[in-house]
């Protein structure tokens, strides 16, 4: 059974700071990794995908992947109060499909 682990938080950062969110996964064969953002009362929204070791940047977001350590992270630079949400890490259930296994999420709170 694949597992994805995240610290539940809350992670509190001041406006303008860098927020660092971490995720570990159990299946060494996992190839595809995703970060979703979920605002309270809303459905998850895809914000980043990463498939290769290293960093992938998109605006204020940077995803980092280290397959040897089975570790994925998300950095949010210049954090804004609007970034306050739950961030979900996900890996593909198996490469034969697109279903995802999710961590339980880290709640981020950005204070102004």
Partner 1 sequence: KAGVTQTPRYLIKTRGQQVTLSCSPISGHRSVSWYQQTPGQGLQFLFEYFSETQRNKGNFPGRFSGRQFSNSRSEMNVSTLELGDSALYLCASAGEAGEPTFRSYEQYFGPGTRLTVT
Residues that bind partner 1 (CB under 8 A): 1, 32, 34, 36, 42-46, 49, 51, 88, 92-94, 96-105
Residue 111, number of CB atoms within 10 A of its CB: 11
CA distance 28 to 77: 29
> Cβ closer to partner 1: 19 or 100?
100
CB of 14 to partner 1, least distance (A): 28
Which lies closer to partner 1 via its Cβ, residue 74 or residue 79? 74
Q: Identify which of residues 56 and 60 has a Cβ nearer to partner 1 in the complex.
A: 56
- Residue 80 CB partners (closer than 8 Å, separation 6+): 15, 110
- 72 vs 91: CA distance, rounded Å: 10
Q: Minimum distance from CB of 111 to partner 1 (Å)? A: 24
């Amino acid at each position: 059974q694949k597992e994805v682990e995240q610290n539940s938080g809350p992670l509190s950062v001041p406006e303008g700071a860098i927020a660092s969110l971490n995720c570990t996964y159990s299946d060494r064969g996992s190839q595809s990794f995703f970060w979703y953002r979920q605002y309270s009362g809303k459905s998850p929204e895809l914000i980043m995908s990463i498939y290769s070791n290293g960093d992938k940047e998109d605006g204020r977001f940077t995803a980092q992947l280290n397959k040897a350590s089975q570790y994925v992270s998300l950095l949010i630079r210049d954090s804004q109060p609007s970034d306050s949400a739950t961030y979900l890490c996900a890996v593909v259930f198996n490469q034969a499909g697109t279903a995802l296994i999710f961590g339980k999420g880290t709640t981020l709170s950005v204070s102004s």
